[in-house]
Structure 1
């Protein structure tokens, strides 16, 4: 079904956003920093894609799940949304790992460090 991949990306983005909101891991902890980091990550990976497309490493495969709208040759509309999702997810996972580590070692010292 055309557009199903885009719908899956948007639903996933909303799900990660809800987890972020509940636990205040990224955007709900520091909005400006999260937006900037997500946009920088997305721009970096779009540049990475552009280099890969220009060198022939990346090509768009045929899929009925895509809308069929290309922003550039071999760059479907869904790609920047996926890259934004990927960048935001990385920030939420990092925030979760950081929170877990802080709760596990509240004194701020590592247990595997030499005395």
Structure 2
């Protein structure tokens, strides 16, 4: 995680991949690896990692959040559509309405914390 703070994405991915390989059943490692891959803009690999870790709805939600963070609007829209297709309840959330319309999310307080909701006891 320290490599992420240093913006050294390749080392962050390498370390998280190693941690996940040592504990493949650890959802936290799997999700952090997927998010690190997305942050490094390895979108396809991130998508596979996250879908395997948390299922398609939540995976595409995380990818839309990361794409928004990186200013990749075309990906935000694509991943938001995929999330809604996988889980139609996402359509009701305010930031998804913005994303599906092609804009940035203005619902800053409505979005749950990115890294706190992926545990098995999370909301979805």
TM-score of the alignment, normalized to the shorter chain, above 0.5: no
Q: For the pair shown, which has the larger CA radius of gyration, 1 or 2?
A: 1
Q: Which has the higher helix share?
A: 2
Using the size of structure 2 for normalisation, the TM-score is: 0.27
